[in-house]
Structure 1
């Protein structure tokens, strides 16, 4: 008699962090029988580091996840305790939402969402093996010996593979927050020819809020009018009482304490093997690399409404416990601070992502997909975005449909994934607005207009939501056409209006649109001159303002995208043998064979492939010589 569990599913998701949750929800919502494994039910959508969602460029990712039918935006709208729009004084391309989360509530709500979703099973168990037959995934095996057959598998292991946490000379072989690590899957992946590497990240201490002297701190408040992340959230429901954060600074005493004990840091003592994130450095790194700075910002962020724990943002560390007390208590307002959880660094195994196709499927194993921090990225938002795409494409694979691949002109998600699978990165990857060439087109405000039709086509967007988007789009188009034909002359009423708003008076007639283009005016203001204007929703008026004011720049970027699309549209035949391409440089040949780009555009972005190499490749493909 069989003495082990054996079950079958369409899709297996390994890991229930931010990537795993989105992957599992996407698969289940597309009608596929899905099971999602987690090493602990307490780690579902866990926020082991900063207690916030969004931020510069990351807010764009959350909006795009929502526009495609993902869950992160909906979840944070229901569990935030403070919200703020970053960069409001700059152009709309870099406006980004950032919300402080109630960590516990965020995790609980996401777990409940998974457990209440049809076609989805949430299971606590450690996956130790992937089962591969004839270069095709057929299932997974748990530590207990149970076998789960699957048509597709999505790896979203986060920072749990052979994880160890370090501070000073203390080494704990656990995942974040002391949770169980996953110690066996690494060997199975290596045995199946998957290349891994070692990365590290870190987190600051959590301190007891009752021991903080808030009189010495600068309060940081949220926006008076909160903008939701999800396009489906009623804006009125997020106008809540918000909790302030607080700002303080390190000082020379703090820095000297750190310098005096650098040899006790596992980062500088050589104990840590993994490579850390460049854009989220520890306080030790800041003191060493920015020695000219006399102070560094420290944000004190509450972790939730039902806890006194406060996150010390800006002072990530792996210093010994006694040194942590010294350096934290040297900061104004924290002189008597008590640590609730020590700061620590965490090392983990992760993937070399150039083993993946742009669909996030492994090149060497059919039906095996990967998403999240396991792919070499950092951040909750980057993880969730990859998880959503991996879950969608695992479903597309099972259903026999074409994968969803977003290119760099369509979404920040496209930029993120293209960078990961195409460009060599030797450190945890972080999304930034500067990475997006077409960021004026890829604004967070128009994510629904860009991506919701795609989500609808896939099956993650309801008919009602799609109809509402079509109505919004039509209102924008109709009003743009209407106001372009409305003219204002130099009448006394118009001149008085312009003077009242510190705007230059007219010497000749102009259109409604011309006036909106003026920096000091807006669509709403100019409506005062037009008693017949329609009563439009705020999000429609926002689009009108942006599309009118930035029309020239938008049109210029659109032309650049046309050129970009030409290269993206030139597919590289799968049967092409780079060793047979004459005049291709050795470095380019090696890099192209390793990455296996799907089109000329992707090939042109590979480090070590020059424009002349691309020209050689184009001529060779056009000649048809690869067919001989």
Structure 2
């Protein structure tokens, strides 16, 4: 589904239409993707935010936000301050989701992206459901979901989180484009009765990145766990702010 109106009753800058070209398409609506989309939309960009599960938009999957190091100026920091002294993680998620859904300029789509094809001035985004979408730039913020395998004891699922499918087709498409992917692993603690689990997934190798941009592609960028290294709430949100600033910086005029 697509978002249509802001919390102030203001329609977004453009309605989704066949062939419509977004300024930026953000694939993945976790910590990194949600923050980036919010910053870009607030600055006037026309943003498509794609998630496999819109109900989980911006969800931290934590029982509490106590001690969370959200940087000032981030949407996560603003929502946390707004609901203080409430620190319940699920209450925080409800307020955050409402904030994103009510931000003019963010168009929400529940879909699974399977392939990216660069054309002269845009990226064509293919989806498992069939529709193709178009954007001038695309940001991969799919977290631990690229070809992810979730392990609970002796059981393995093709998922990056419980009940959330992995991006296998998208990982294969990136590999076909010549992008070298490396394996990574993370562990999730038990939460509210859900068991702990390990997840193995892929990210572009450090050599494939020029800052946030994927070197072999002109209009595709990576953010959050789609970049190598250790990640915290603060570091991911700060990276999202830096990438937003890059998109919003005036283009250099060639001599």
TM over 0.5: yes
Whole-Å Cα distance in 1 between the matches of residues 141 and 118 of structure 2? 18
Q: May I ask how many residue pairs the two structures share in their alignment?
A: 236
Q: Say which SS state the counterpart of residue 341 (structure 1) adopts.
A: coil
Q: Is the 8 A contact 2:26 2:33 kept in 1?
A: yes
Identify the residue that residue 348 of structure 1 maps to in structure 2.
201
Offset at 1:138?
A: 2.0
Unaligned runs of 5+ in 2: 1-16
What secondary structure, in the 3-state scheme, does the structure 2 residue paired with 1:52 have?
Answer: coil
- CA distance 1:79–1:343, change in 2 (3 Å): farther
**The structure with more helix, counted as a fraction of residues:** 1
Question: Which of the residues 55, 73, 77 maps onto 1:73?
Answer: 77
Q: Which residue number corresponds to residue 234 of structure 2?
A: 381
- Is 2:43 the partner of 1:30? yes
* Higher relative contact order structure (alpha carbons within 8 Å, sequence separation ≥ 6): 2
Alignment partners' CA distance in 2, 1:49 and 1:380: 12
Change in Cα spacing, 1:107 to 1:177, as seen in structure 2 (3 Å) is farther
CA contact (8 A) 2:159 2:165 kept: yes
Q: How does 1:148-227 map to 2 (within 5 A)?
A: 148-206=133-191
Of 199, 210, 215, which aligns to 1:363? 215
In 2 relative to 1, CA 49–70 (structure 1 residues): closer, same or farther, beyond 3 Å? Answer: closer
Residue 224 (structure 2) pairs with residue 372 (structure 1): yes
> Given the alignment of the two structures, is residue 120 of structure 1 paired with residue 133 of structure 2, yes or no?
no
User: In 2 relative to 1, CA 9–196 (structure 1 residues): closer, same or farther, beyond 3 Å?
Assistant: same
For residues 401 and 113 of structure 1, what CA distance do their matches in structure 2 show? 33
Q: CA RMSD in A?
A: 2.5
Unaligned runs of 5+ in 1: 83-100, 207-308, 310-339, 403-628
Residue 5 of structure 1 and its aligned partner are, at CA, apart by 5.2
> Match of 1:146?
131
Judged with a 3 Å threshold, the aligned counterparts in structure 2 of structure 1 residues 388 and 401 are, in CA distance, closer, same or farther, namely farther
- Structure with higher strand content: 2
TM-score, normalised by the number of residues in structure 2: 0.82
For residue 391 of structure 1, what is the aligned residue in structure 2?
Answer: 244
Q: How does 1:574-613 map to 2 (within 5 A)?
A: none
Q: 1:19 and 2:32 equivalent?
A: yes
Q: Matches of 2:66 and 2:177 in 1, distance apart?
A: 35
Cα deviation for residue 9 of structure 1 reads 0.9
Q: Which has the larger radius of gyration?
A: 1
- SS where residue 157 of structure 1 aligns? coil
Residue by residue over 1:29-88, the C-alpha shift from the partner in whole angstroms, topping out at 9 and shown as x without a partner, is 121111100010122112136743656xxx3xx33xx3xx43121122234667xxxxxx
Return the offset for 1:353: 3.2
Q: 1:391 to 1:205 in 2, by over 3 A?
A: same
Give the CA deviation at 1:124: 0.7
